[in-house]
């Protein structure tokens, strides 16, 4: 039975997946990307609590009970709608519903050419904000904001890649290829640069890189270019900061970038999670857990594997092995393709004296990657590094 979440102390909204009315299942990524952009526009409004896309995406393809959604996500308002893309034209239908009583507060449709798609997204967000808080008239969404790209082909490539990164870690190589195509078309496309850096980081972290030194250099270059193009885009800031921290840049500076992103958008679930990961790198496990839990509140129905993996790893570094184990097991259950959580759980079991369990984890890890003990660790605290490495080496039977 899903948990009923309390309402925040400010207006709160969830944007549900928009129906793809294009008659082409291949256009699902476009409808999902439209929702992401509307969520981003709404998140610029500081007085509004916005549920992250990953949590609302679980309702995709379901018959929606708006009152149930309100209870499960802890929101007062729900936005739902549809997208039709055909012949170079786009139509967005949207309606705003009060989750508590089910009353329809507003409905409208927006038509334009594909070239106008960004303006249409902002118009949806501005209208929604105007209904929720008329006296503010959505001042922050109607202000001029720079678009990350004007190249619609680059945007389309980015949306396809973004959907792959979010769907499975196993699709990261494919996503990287598409991100690089988007960057080739628009070399200053900040989100694509930052996600490209993230993909290079994950390729090294997962032990799937054929040339870690070259991939590290490429990832660092993309992340630095992303920061030059980022402006005030919180997503670009945190993705670039995470990659640069992993590749060895100053951890304090990277945490400051994450803090800036969260000032820009306090409702940014991924921002809180990455901020937690940076604290994990920095040797601050308690703050890492606090920030990961903030991400879970903002995105309570998202894929939780990566968040629980972070919480489990932080408990491990704090030597709370009994608390780390269930979190890491949940992370592996949800995403069995991500090697790092196997490494931490194996090290945890080894330090608990559960060597049979530890070695079974290592055997499962070998089916994902030949790299059991990673050559590069982003952990800055020497004691934390030794705790992890000694446990993992013990689990791996003394492998250096």
Ranges 34-38, 132-136, 163-167, 339-343: which has the least confidence: 132-136
Instruction: State CA 111 to chain mean position distance.
Output: 30
Q: Which domains does the chain have, with CATH numbers?
A: 12-142 (3.40.50.10610), 151-266 (1.25.40.10), 281-400 (1.25.40.10)
Rounded CA separation 296/29 (Å): 24
- Any idea which residue has 């960004």 for tokens? 118
Determine if residue 232 is left, alpha or beta; phi over 0 gives left, psi from -120 to 50 gives alpha, anything else beta: alpha
* Residue 137, pLDDT score: 35
* Selection from 187, 178, 133 nearest residue 33 by Cα: 178
pLDDT of 68 above 80:
yes
The CA-based diameter of the chain, rounded to the nearest angstrom, is 66
**Banded pLDDT at 115 (limits 50, 70, 90):** confident
In this predicted structure, the answer to whether residue 349 has a pLDDT above a threshold of 60 is yes
Q: Which of 94-108, 301-315, 381-395 has the highest mean pLDDT?
A: 381-395
Average pLDDT value for residue range 289-293: 95
Name beta bridge partners: 155: none
Using the structure block, give the residue that is written with the tokens 């170079």: 88
Q: What is the dihedral of CA 41, 42, 47, 50, to 10 degrees?
A: -130
pLDDT at 303: 57
pLDDT at 185: 94
Name the pTM for this structure.
0.71
Distance CA 92, CA 84 (A): 7
Mean pLDDT of the region 1-25? 77
Return the sign of the alpha-carbon dihedral for residues 144, 146, 150, 155.
negative
Least confident piece of the model among 160-169, 189-198, 227-236: 160-169
pLDDT in tens, 123-179: 777 667 666 554 333 333 333 344 677 788 888 889 889 888 877 777 889 999 999
β-bridge partners, 297:
none
In this predicted structure, what is the pLDDT of residue 129? 64
Of all residues in the chain, the percent with pLDDT exceeding 70 is 91
Res. 92 pLDDT band, cuts 50 70 90: confident
Regarding predicted confidence, which is higher, 110 or 312?
312
């Amino acid at each position: 039975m899903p948990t009923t979440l309390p309402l925040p102390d400010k207006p709160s909204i969830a944007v549900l997946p928009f129906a793809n009315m294009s008659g082409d299942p291949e256009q699902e990524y476009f409808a999902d990307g439209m929702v992401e952009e509307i969520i981003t526009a709404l998140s610029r409004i500081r007085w509004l609590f916005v549920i992250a896309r990953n949590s609302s995406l679980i309702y995709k393809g379901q018959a929606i009970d708006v009152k149930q959604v309100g209870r499960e996500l802890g929101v007062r308002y729900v936005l739902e709608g549809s997208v039709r893309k055909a012949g170079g034209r786009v139509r967005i239908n949207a309606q705003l519903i009060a989750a508590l009583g089910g009353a329809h507060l507003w409905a409208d449709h927006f038509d334009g050419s594909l070239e106008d798609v960004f303006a249409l997204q902002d118009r949806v967000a501005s209208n929604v904000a105007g209904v929720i808080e008329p006296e503010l008239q959505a001042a922050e969404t109607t202000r001029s904001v720079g678009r990350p790209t004007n190249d619609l082909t680059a945007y389309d490539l980015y949306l396809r890649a973004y959907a792959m990164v979010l769907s499975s870690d196993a699709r990261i190589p494919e996503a990287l290829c598409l991100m690089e195509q988007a960057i080739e078309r628009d070399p200053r496309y900040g989100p694509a640069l930052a996600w490209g850096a993230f993909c290079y980081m994950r390729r090294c972290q997962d032990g799937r890189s054929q040339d870690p030194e070259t991939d590290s250099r490429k990832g660092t270059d993309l992340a630095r270019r992303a920061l030059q193009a980022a402006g005030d885009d919180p997503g670009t800031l945190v993705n670039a900061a995470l990659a640069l921290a992993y590749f060895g840049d100053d951890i304090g500076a990277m945490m400051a970038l994450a803090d800036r992103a969260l000032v820009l958008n306090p409702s940014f679930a991924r921002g809180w999670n990455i901020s937690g990961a940076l604290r994990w790198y920095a040797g601050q496990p308690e703050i890492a857990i606090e920030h990961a839990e903030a991400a879970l509140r903002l995105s309570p129905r998202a894929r939780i594997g990566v968040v629980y993996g972070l919480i489990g790893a932080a408990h491990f570094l704090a030597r709370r092995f009994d608390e780390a184990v269930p979190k890491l097991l949940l992370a592996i259950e949800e995403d069995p393709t991500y090697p790092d959580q196997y490494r931490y759980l194996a090290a945890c079991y080894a330090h608990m004296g559960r060597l049979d369990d530890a070695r079974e984890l290592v055997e499962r890890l070998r089916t994902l990657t030949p790299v059991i003990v990673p050559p590069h660790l982003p952990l800055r605290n020497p004691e934390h590094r030794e705790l992890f490495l000694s446990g993992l080496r013990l689990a791996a039977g003394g492998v250096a």
